[in-house]
Amino acid sequence: MTFCCEMMRDKVEAKCDQHADSFDCPDCLIYHDPDPRDERYVLIIHDGGSSYIAIRYCPWCGTSLPGDVDDEDDTTA
């Protein structure tokens, strides 16, 4: 997989020894769904559930990210 910058790579590929699910780990910030039918990058909202906000641009380098961000479906997984 190709990433726009090293920081994005580090955040997407982050693994936690204590949490099996990225949405449970407070250190995981970004989730990438590689499904080609609905590819998207999201900021994880650590609210005890699986909430997220889909993003269009990398928070670190500003590069436009692949995937369609639908405003009606960008706050919960």
| Domain boundary assignment for the chain | 6-73
Burial (CB < 10 A; 0-12, 13-18, 19+), residue 11, is buried
Residue 43 in tokens: 């900021």
Q: Which residues pair with 31 in a beta bridge?
A: 42
| pLDDT tens-digit series, residues 7-65 | 999 999 998 999 999 899 999 999 998 777 778 899 999 998 889 999 999 999 999 99
Record the pTM: 0.75
| pLDDT, position 38 | 76
pLDDT value of residue 36:
75
- The predicted structure's pLDDT at residue 68: 63
The reported pLDDT for the residue numbered 60 is 96
Rg (CA), the chain: 12
Residue located via tokens 């997989």 = 1
Q: Which residues does residue 33 pair with via DSSP β-bridges, in sequence order?
A: 40
